[in-house]
Amino acid sequence: MNTAEKNIVLDVEDKPKPLNWLALSFQHLFAMFGATVLVPFLVKLDPAVALISSGIGTITFLMITRGKVPAYLGSSFAFIAPLIAAKAAGGPGAAMVGSFLAGAVYALIALFIKVSGYKWIMKLLPPVVVGPVIMVIGLSLSTTAVGMAMNDAKGHYSLVNFSAALITLAVTVICSIYFKGFFNLIPVLVGIACGYIYSLSMGLVDFSKVTSAPFFKMPDFILPFADYQPALTPSIVLLIVPIAVVTISEHIGHQLVLSKVVGRNYIEDPGLHSSLFGDGVATMIAAMLGGPPSTTYGENIGVLAITRVYSVFVIAGAAVFAILFGFIGTISAFISSIPQPVMGGVSILLFGIIASSGLKMMVDSKIDFGEKRNLIISSVILVVGIGGAMLKLNDHFELHGMALAAIIGVILNLILPGRTYDEFTVLDEKEPKKHTA
């Protein structure tokens, strides 16, 4: 029996008592709340829809994985830049079509994994490819974060705005480093709350919409055929779908971490194909409602590790609360009233963490940059992605920075001589196995 089994408070199938259930589910709601509403805030979608789609997606995920995987699905940061670009190119409908297709790619790959096994996907997406692409995601958004932090609504520098951003950032960092227990898991939420209070004192908050908002409010869903006519274009496909290369790797990593926390091998049971299919279906549901694509959340895995409460009933409870919150007008208005510099302050840290996590992946996998092959792959991915390179053959075929960088990275890894790959660390193994192809 491993350590996880000895210290379990509630196992995966256990149902908590009503009051405990309420409190434990709220913990998971708070853990995912800040990041989940930040994504729609940045891409100009309704945060209420993001909450609802995350709740429905999580419940769907739990059903598809047969109640075996206690994971919460929230808004994915990897799709921020592609969604902004897709909206600029073809409106919200184009972004939703692209998101739906990304989810469909998850589902198709999941079906292929079920037939052929999962090791091929780990060979195709080694850390030397995925790490730099993850870094591109964070660094390509850095100008957005800094602009939100220091500029006013007209795009002019504002010391007051920047001070709000810096206070938000400082509180978030302090909470991450010095706070203990549950509060250590919600630094984004604490930082936003403190930044909001400071902004309120500085006159940066318009609270009138919050006080006048109705208790019940229908969110601004973006529904196919009602709000837009779905149209499949090569540019939208090439803009968003390749990001699935990164998010699939993120999904695998989360499942392995969750396996170690809970003490079960989720890659084997219910299987990587099952969890990936659930993630894909959740993303498709979000796209059909007008929400951002979904991903499993590391914040909620952290809650599981600290509380040792692994019950899927607790996760489902958090999902139900998220759905209910999405229909409460006061909450929706409150989220919308959060000043731009406050979101900019937390974005500086979050986007930096995304970039750093890509670097950490390569360090943990012991990528040797003394090898020219590894140096070339990572260098090309970083410059192509951050530089915003674009492959344009005609008016209908465009492949933009991040997506282009991911595809080039996969191709370089396949064709350059001396190819090696590092398998993700499986449950109970100390070091990743290194193989030569």
Token pair in block for residue 219: 């969110």
For 36-81, the pLDDT digits (tens) are 988 998 899 999 999 999 999 999 999 999 999 999 999 998 898 8
At residue 240, the pLDDT reads 85
Q: How far is CA 185 from CA 49, 126, 269, in A?
A: 24, 29, 28
The Cα 336–Cα 166 span in angstroms is 20
Cis status, amide bond into 270, omega within 30 of 0: yes
pLDDT of residue 392: 78
What's the DSSP call for residue 309? B
Q: Which whole number is the average pLDDT over 129-133? A: 87
Give the relative orientation of helices 80-116 and 18-43 as an angle to the nearest 10 degrees: 120
Q: Give dist(CA 350, CA 367) in Å, integer.
A: 24
* Closest alpha carbon to 422 in 360, 357, 364: 364
Separation CA 146–CA 137 (nearest Å): 15
Runs of H (alpha helix) within 117-243:
119-124, 127-140, 142-150, 159-178, 187-201, 208-212, 234-240
Residues 62/84/210/27 CA torsion (nearest 10 deg):
30
Q: Helices marked H in 74-126 — which ranges?
A: 80-116, 119-124
List the structure tokens of 152.
């006013």
Kindly state the average pLDDT of the residues 127-149. 88
CA torsion sign, 321 to 45 to 231 to 249? negative
The string of pLDDT tens digits covering residues 229-251 is: 998 888 788 888 888 877 887 88
Residues in the chain: 437
Dist. CA 251–CA 262, nearest whole Å: 16
DSSP helix/strand/coil, 424: coil
- Burial (CB count within 10 angstroms: exposed 0-12, middle 13-18, buried 19+), residue 235: buried
Q: Residue 306: what residue type? A: I
Give the model's pLDDT for residue 299: 80
Phi, psi of 7 (to 5 degrees): -105, 10
Whether residue 425 is predicted with pLDDT greater than 60 in this model: the reply is: no
Structural contact between residues 318 and 32, judged by C-beta atoms closer than 8 angstroms: yes
